[in-house]
Structure 1
Amino acid sequence: MNTKHAKYQRLIARCRDLAPTPTAVVYPCDRSSLEGALEAAELGLIEPILVGPRAQIEAVARTFGADISACRVVEAPYSAAAAAAAVQLVREGQAEALMKGCLHTDELMAAVVKRDAGLRTARRVSHCFVMDVPSYENALIITDAAVNIAPTLDEKADILQNAIDLAHVLQIEDVRVAILSAMETVSAKVPSTVEAAALCKMVDRHQITGARVDGPLALDNAISLEAARVKQIDSPVVGHANVLLVPDLEAGNLLAKSLSFLAEADAAGIVLGARVPIILTSRADSVTTRLASCAVATLVATAQRQGSKMLG
């Protein structure tokens, strides 16, 4: 693994003494998704249950010489059926995590949030990127960049609490959240600034717990002490943020991909708020990123098994 991603390597190392997490891998019908699951299994991060059409999965394995004889395969003829079957494995207690294969995220999430047969909890389901930015001292949690398109204030409260709980599972000692907007002042003309102020008041009233939270903050103030000094912003969060709550999915997606492609960052993806963690990977992910995503899911699943509040 590349030494520039030391933060991810530490995450993976933390899982060495943990039991592999039984993980339903949903429709691993291309090389990247199947190979990622097998690599994570080799490191002892997950125990993969391959859910999809057996003949197709075996054919994909043959294309790169992989041996899947030790893996359990649950037959499902197409992607939506695989998503439903994987969710059922969780409901039956046979799997403690889900891992996305080569199906669309919305197809997987539709099965997860299905009202009667899904994996809903009292908490809103939301996505987090755990980003390893080489030039930044802290791991960065960015939320939500994949599930909630335009979250309401109430939904943002759940998204924020999910991210804070994740930070504690990752053993971030001092969780500092910046609620991002385009400016630092509250203006009715920019709704995200008003919602940021409301979220901060919810923290004051202990409706959201476990972190120091400030906002609205522009990105530069969240991560640069010098930028905050110039603007005379006095806050324990500025310059030291390790959680960034974005206004909406578009902002989160743009921020994460900008860091990935312009700052050589890796982005491990995880969905929280369901009964089990859900590993979201992309075909563009590096091996290290795929393994880090599985490591994060293993840490979350272990925390849930030990009675953490991550279930919502």
Structure 2
Amino acid sequence: MKIQENKTFEQLKVGDAAQLTRLCTVDDLYAFASASGDHNPLHLAAYDGDGDGLAEAVAPALWPAGLVAAVLGNYMPGAGTQTRRADLAFHLPVLAGEELTAFVAVEEKRDDGDLLCSVEVRRVVDNALVLSGTVQVTPPSTHMEFDSVEVPGLIVQRHRHFDALLEKARPLEPMPTAVVAPEEPNSLSGALLGHANHIISPILVGDPDKIAAAAAELGADLSGIEIVEARSHGIAAHRAVDLVVDGRAQTLMKGYLHTDELLHAVLRREKGLRTGRRLSHVFVMDVPGMSRPIMVTDAAVNIAPDLETKADIVQNAIHLAHSLGIEQPKVGVLSAVETINPHMPSSVDAALLSKMAERGQITGGLVDGPLAMDNAVDLNAARTKGITSEVAGAADILVAPNIEAGNMVAKQLTFISHAEAAGVVIGAAVPIILTSRSDDDASRLASCAVAALHAHANKGKIHG
């Protein structure tokens, strides 16, 4: 714990100075908006203030002023300081991403026991003056040395990684998507949401009466959207696959039917969508506070995968990561420990997968394991355990030992860490959008975007 001390009126002299440097981030501005109630879009990266076509986050004037307050309250005079008056001039706007230094100097010791301090805030990159003025404060009456106060960290619950994926997907041509049995409101609304955002172009395959009833419940207009009649779920799945085989659709989307029924049609031997690689499911997760999206696999298809299946699961996830713009994804193969234990098969499989990647049997990414969950995603945990690895603490992809573990990791991130999750099945000739009835609109839309990006990146390829 860092020891801090304040200074009383008697201890300070004219010319004494202090400073601090701080990076302004978009998350800082969201936290400021939440605390102050100032939701001006200018400050939340939602406003094109200078007409250049780019939305920029401009800090409220009181944000750099707050840096002055931090110097006064933390360093000089320090704990116990009370601000009486401030006369500030604001010279330049502060944008998210800029680093600032706040300066405070004692200018006058007044007869009433107050201090008059000159203050400045400058941009670090060019020393440009952002703020200047004077502040009158009453310094603490008692000198103290104390442990610095630990303030709980704040995590802004926004999903910027999914926002970035949507921005990448929207300029593309909407992906023709066969939606299988969208016969109740939740399954239909996901397809319509992707359509409204110009990410997919849905072809609805199922019972027209049930689809119409679901649309009526949503208050949705299906004008201009093709409907292919199929009176049973099995027939709908096969007709949707036919649309892909015939080149009319480039992705599939699961509606209101069992996953097994859909995958049975996908894997049919005659005119199916097999590629020679096993199918696997990937959750692409946007976890608030994480610097990168996290992919979790396999949480929905392979129940107890053997080593050969796990190799396909890893390769599938690497290919998906490439489609999302991750050039060399880092793959952490999970177990309960980070050392090989012959009595723990998941640790042995993880080590073998790592060696397979070294020998070129798995390509396109860095693979390491076994890794426990903590040292796969947290660099400090990895360092504490003494793990030297390019993957440890920085994994983009988490490979679970079995479906139970994968499902638990994904659900915990969703319901405890407030992550949004996009779900797709890959390994077939086209990606399959797999959403749940409990998914919200953000997850459904992100699932469409992930599948569209993967399909677009792999047009003409047969590795799913």
- TM-score, with structure 2 as normaliser: 0.65
The answer (yes or no) to whether the contact 2:178–2:204 under 8 Å persists in 1 is: yes
Structure 1 match to 2:364: 210
Q: 2:174 aligns with which of 20, 40, 57?
A: 20
Larger deviation, residues 116-125 vs 36-45: 116-125
List aligned pairs for 1:221-300, cutoff 5 A: 221-300=375-454
The residue type equivalent to 1:107 in the other structure is E
Q: 1:113 aligns with which of 251, 263, 267?
A: 267
The answer (yes or no) to whether the contact 1:303–1:310 under 8 Å persists in 2 is: no
Q: CA deviation at 1:152?
A: 1.0
Task: Work out whether 1:8 is the aligned partner of 2:162.
Answer: yes
Structure 2 match to 1:177: 331
Deviation per CA, 1:174-216: give whole Å up to 9, x if none: 4111000001111110111111111111111101111111100
Q: CA deviation at 1:297?
A: 0.8
Partner secondary structure for residue 4 of structure 1: coil
**Gap change, CA 1:147 and 1:47, over 3 Å in 2:** same
Distance 2:218 2:367 in 1: 47
**Gap change, CA 1:309 and 1:222, over 3 Å in 2:** farther
Structure 1 match to 2:191: 37
List aligned pairs for 1:150-169, cutoff 5 A: 150-169=304-323
The answer (yes or no) to whether the contact 2:157–2:288 under 8 Å persists in 1 is: no
Distance 1:46 1:221 in 2: 38
Q: CA deviation at 1:55?
A: 1.1
Distance 1:20 1:70 in 2: 14
The residue type equivalent to 1:6 in the other structure is R
Structure 1 unpaired stretches of 5+: none
Q: Higher helix share goes to which structure?
A: 1
Structure 2 match to 1:92: 246
**Gap change, CA 1:3 and 1:188, over 3 Å in 2:** closer
Distance 1:270 1:241 in 2: 19
Distance 2:322 2:173 in 1: 20
Alignment root-mean-square deviation, CA: 1.5
Alignment identity in percent?
54
Partner secondary structure for residue 249 of structure 2: coil
Deviation per CA, 1:247-296: give whole Å up to 9, x if none: 01111001100110000001100111101110000111111111110001
Task: Work out whether 1:62 is the aligned partner of 2:190.
Answer: no
Distance 1:94 1:216 in 2: 43
Partner secondary structure for residue 389 of structure 2: coil
Structure 2 unpaired stretches of 5+: 1-45, 47-155
Distance 2:423 2:256 in 1: 15
The answer (yes or no) to whether the contact 2:251–2:430 under 8 Å persists in 1 is: yes
The answer (yes or no) to whether the contact 1:166–1:310 under 8 Å persists in 2 is: no
The answer (yes or no) to whether the contact 1:49–1:74 under 8 Å persists in 2 is: yes
- TM-score, with structure 1 as normaliser: 0.96
The residue type equivalent to 2:259 in the other structure is T
Q: 2:236 aligns with which of 39, 58, 82?
A: 82
The residue type equivalent to 1:33 in the other structure is S
After the TM superposition, which parts of structure 1 deviate over 6 Å for at least 4 consecutive aligned residues? none
**Gap change, CA 1:173 and 1:3, over 3 Å in 2:** farther
Deviation per CA, 1:215-266: give whole Å up to 9, x if none: 0000000011111111111111111111001101111001100110000001
The residue type equivalent to 1:44 in the other structure is H
The residue type equivalent to 2:455 in the other structure is A
Structure 2 match to 1:124: 278
- Report the structure number with the largest CA radius of gyration: 2
* Greater relative CO (CA pairs within 8 A, separation 6+): 1
Distance 2:317 2:308 in 1: 15
The answer (yes or no) to whether the contact 2:275–2:463 under 8 Å persists in 1 is: no
The residue type equivalent to 1:152 in the other structure is D
